């Protein structure tokens, strides 16, 4: 709990070191560890923390080989830790190789700059000079040769070998190698432009570029929009047969039919379905809110704000919007300091009986179907609902934070997944105040959703049929992606906004499968 008061929380994918766990984390770890020693009162540390968090997201896939930790030296309870490692200035970053012994003090990062790319390169430099024992999960990082490639498939049980051709100063090959570390059936190696026999054999003229190499010596160029790390990693993680370690391979929709008790409803992965939005409303209003017996204080304010944004912005069928509007005007008229769920429900069900207003009872997931009953569904619906609402508010609203505040307090007070609620509240507390216009509200929710996707990629809750990705991927919106002069991936926010406003717009929502 003391670590929570520091600059990082459990949502940041950074191991929070304390006196209690320092030995179990640092000593004999199978992964190399990077540790930031900081003091929560130090201005430089506060200024550096967003970079360190961004680094953690950027190299999330590398965790089995190299992981990030942080310790707050301002916390009394951690004094011994910082003393043991002889830390005097903040922030200090040290590299601990895998299988470190208790007396090992770590290798300091000298003159590190406050940018993710430089830090990532420094980590690769340190990893590459890592002596024995090498972190077992870390693939070889040195350049490969014709000789090695010739016998590659005899000694490696993989379907694909990706070769990244580049010059000696480029880090892309090593970065992609580590980005693919948690995926089966594929290996990635870098090839230097000076490795003449391979360069000539494959006819490589562009550096970097990526080729897929097969047993028997066949090869093809990997087609990507831009020759850069993010594009290679995304494309390679999606090659046929490549799956995240420990996850079952994707199956056909034929097989999916047998996994779920509901009949599988074929759908277009690139569209929003009204059936999901109505199912979400049903579940939220009748089941999730039903877990409350009374609404009072903040919960009551939260309920009113939620129903109010639904009444204003839900782009549904007239019968459904009639019900929401009626429910809203009733709710806003309630002046008491508490409302029972029973009273709320009575009003809801009464409205649902009337000839021109209803909310279908029960769920009928379509775009939010999961390959197993415990995947996707309601949380998918909640995200979709609020994306749609921010997009509606963009053309109809005036208060930039109205929808997001309603979402924040709904999630905080009512969302059944309490861990999710805690994470979401952390993000909202950090950055929601920065939303000052309606378009930035749309973009805020999109970017926070991607932070959650990053954190959950590979988690148990991930449906193997619907892997968590940074969304929209290049094959959905190519113009949304770009690279900076230094080769780092960046989003073209103008294009992303354009994409979101279209993707979630009311006139594109499909009405298939509605009752
Ligand atoms: P979802 O992430 O639910 O996304 C639904 C659909 O939205 C996708 O299919 C895609 O079409 C689209 N989409 C994806 N990314 C974006 C984006 N960036 N912007 C716009 N649209 C996008 N689960 C946990 O295990 N731990 C948590 O801490 C956690 N926190 C959550 C917090 C909130 C507020 C919510 C609503 C859910 C949270 N969940 C959490 C659940 C998790 O985020 C997913 O909703 C769930 O795992 C189902 O995933 P999915 O594959 O259906 O995709």
Cβ(372) to ligand 1 under 6 A?
no
pLDDT in tens, 444-455: 999 999 999 999
Per-residue CA distances from 424 to 298, 374, 394, 408 (Å): 17, 21, 22, 8
The protein residue whose alpha carbon is closest to atom 37 in ligand 1 is 379
Cβ(268) to ligand 1 under 6 A?
no
Model confidence band, residue 216 (pLDDT cutoffs 50, 70, 90): confident
- What's the pLDDT at 262? 76
Cβ(412) to ligand 1 under 6 A?
no
404-410 own/partner pairs: CB under 8 Å, 24+ apart: 404/428, 404/432, 404/435, 404/441, 404/444, 404/445, 405/305, 405/432, 406/302, 406/305, 406/306, 406/308, 406/309, 407/445, 408/432, 409/298, 409/301, 409/302, 409/305, 409/306, 410/302, 410/305, 410/306
- What's the pLDDT at 246? 84
Q: H or E segment at 128?
A: helix 116-128
Q: Is the pLDDT of residue 138 over 50?
A: yes
Q: Is the pLDDT of residue 2 over 50?
A: no
Distance CA(24)–CA(427), nearest Å, equals 29
pLDDT in tens, 141-194: 999 999 999 999 999 999 999 999 999 999 999 999 999 999 999 999 999 999
The residues carrying an active-site annotation are 42, 45
R_g of the chain, CA atoms, integer Å: 26
**Percent of the chain whose predicted confidence (pLDDT) is above 70:** 97
Q: H or E segment at 327?
A: helix 318-333
Q: Is the pLDDT of residue 10 over 90?
A: no
Which residues lie below 8 Å from residue 473, measured CB to CB, with a gap of 6+? 234
Model confidence band, residue 432 (pLDDT cutoffs 50, 70, 90): very high
Q: Is the pLDDT of residue 253 over 80?
A: no
- What's the pLDDT at 130? 86
Q: How large is the average pLDDT for residues 252-275?
A: 80
ipTM confidence score: 0.99
DSSP 420-461: HHHHHHHHHHHHGGG--SHHHHHHHHHHHHHHHHHHHTTSTT
Q: Is the pLDDT of residue 91 over 50?
A: yes
For the chain, give the mean pLDDT: 94
C-alpha 380 to ligand 1 mean position (Å):
5
- What's the pLDDT at 515? 79
pLDDT in tens, 267-283: 999 999 999 999 999 99
C-alpha 481 to ligand 1 mean position (Å):
21
Query: Residue 143 burial (CB < 10 Å; 0-12/13-18/19+)?
Result: buried
Coil vs helix vs strand at 308 = helix
Q: How large is the average pLDDT for residues 277-297?
A: 97
Among 103-117, 207-221, 469-483, the minimum mean pLDDT is found in 103-117
- What's the pLDDT at 1? 37
The protein residue whose alpha carbon is closest to atom 34 in ligand 1 is 424
Q: H or E segment at 35?
A: strand 32-38
pLDDT in tens, 317-368: 999 999 999 999 999 999 999 999 999 999 999 999 988 999 999 999 999 9
The protein residue whose alpha carbon is closest to atom 33 in ligand 1 is 420
- What's the pLDDT at 449? 98
Cβ(453) to ligand 1 under 6 A?
yes
Cβ(53) to ligand 1 under 6 A?
no
Cβ(446) to ligand 1 under 6 A?
yes
- What's the pLDDT at 5? 65
Pocket test for ligand 1, best of 380, 383, 403, 461 (most atoms within 8 A of CB): 383
**How many residues would you count in the chain?**
515
- What's the pLDDT at 255? 62
Q: How large is the average pLDDT for residues 77-104?
A: 92
Residue whose entry in the numeric block shows the structure tokens 């680094």: 55
Neighbours of 172 (CB within 10 A): 23
Q: Is the pLDDT of residue 3 over 50?
A: no
Pocket test for ligand 1, best of 269, 271, 380 (most atoms within 8 A of CB): 380
Which residues lie below 8 Å from residue 84, measured CB to CB, with a gap of 6+? none
Cβ(499) to ligand 1 under 6 A?
no
Model confidence band, residue 373 (pLDDT cutoffs 50, 70, 90): confident
C-alpha 237 to ligand 1 mean position (Å):
20
C-alpha 373 to ligand 1 mean position (Å):
16
Q: What is the dihedral of CA 310, 311, 316, 320, to 10 degrees?
A: 110
pTM given for the model:
0.94
Distance CA(147)–CA(198), nearest Å, equals 9
Specify the ligand 1 atom closest to the Cα of 383.
36
Model confidence band, residue 469 (pLDDT cutoffs 50, 70, 90): very high
């Amino acid at each position: 709990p003391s670590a929570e008061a520091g600059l990082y929380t459990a949502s940041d994918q950074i191991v929070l070191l304390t006196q209690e766990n320092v030995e179990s984390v640092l000593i004999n770890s199978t992964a190399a560890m990077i540790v930031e020693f900081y003091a929560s009162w130090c201005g430089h540390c506060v200024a550096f923390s967003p970079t360190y968090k961004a680094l953690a997201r950027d190299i999330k896939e590398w965790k089995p080989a190299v992981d990030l930790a942080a310790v707050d030296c301002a916390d009394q309870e951690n004094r011994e830790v910082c003393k043991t490692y002889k830390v005097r200035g903040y922030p200090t970053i040290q590299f601990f190789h895998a299988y470190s012994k208790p007396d090992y003090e770590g290798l300091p990062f000298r003159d590190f700059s406050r940018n993710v790319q430089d830090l990532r390169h420094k980590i690769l430099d340190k990893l590459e000079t890592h002596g024995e024992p090498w972190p077992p999960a870390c693939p070889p990082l040195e350049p490969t040769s014709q000789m090695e490639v010739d016998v590659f498939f005899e000694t490696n049980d993989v379907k694909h070998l990706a070769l990244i051709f580049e010059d000696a100063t480029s880090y892309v090959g090593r970065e992609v190698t580590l980005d693919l570390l948690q995926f089966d059936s594929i290996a990635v190696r870098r090839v230097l432009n000076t490795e003449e026999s391979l360069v000539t054999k494959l006819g490589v003229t562009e550096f970097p570029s990526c080729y897929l190499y097969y047993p028997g010596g066949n090869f093809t160029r990997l087609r990507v929009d831009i020759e850069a790390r993010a594009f290679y990693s995304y494309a390679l993680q999606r090659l046929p047969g490549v799956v995240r370690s420990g996850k079952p391979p994707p199956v056909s929709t034929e097989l999916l039919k047998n996994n779920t008790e509901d009949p599988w409803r074929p759908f277009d992965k690139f569209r929003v379905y009204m059936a999901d939005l109505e199912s979400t409303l049903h579940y939220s209003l009748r089941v999730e809110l039903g877990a409350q017996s009374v609404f009072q204080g903040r919960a009551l304010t939260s309920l009113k704000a939620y129903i109010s944004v639904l009444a204003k912005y839900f782009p549904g069928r007239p019968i459904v919007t009639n019900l929401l509007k009626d429910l809203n005007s009733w709710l806003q008229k309630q002046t008491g300091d508490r409302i029972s769920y029973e009273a709320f429900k009575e009003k809801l069900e009464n409205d649902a009986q009337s000839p021109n207003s209803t909310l279908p009872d029960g769920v009928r997931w379509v775009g939010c179907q999961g390959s197993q009953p415990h995947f996707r569904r309601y949380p998918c619906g909640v995200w979709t609902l609020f994306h749609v609402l921010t997009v509606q508010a963009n053309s109809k609203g005036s208060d930039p934070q109205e929808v997001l505040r309603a979402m924040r307090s709904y999630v905080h007070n009512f969302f059944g997944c309490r861990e999710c609620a805690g994470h979401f509240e952390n993000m909202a507390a950090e950055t929601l105040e920065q939303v000052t216009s309606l378009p930035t509200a749309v973009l805020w929710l999109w970017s926070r959703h991607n932070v959650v996707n990053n954190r959950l990629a590979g988690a148990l809750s991930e449906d193997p049929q619907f892997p968590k990705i940074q969304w929209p991927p290049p094959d959905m919106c190519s113009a949304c992606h770009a690279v900076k002069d230094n080769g780092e991936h960046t989003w073209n926010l103008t294009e992303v906004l354009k994409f979101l406003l279209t993707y979630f717009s009311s006139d594109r929502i499909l009405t298939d499968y509605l009752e």
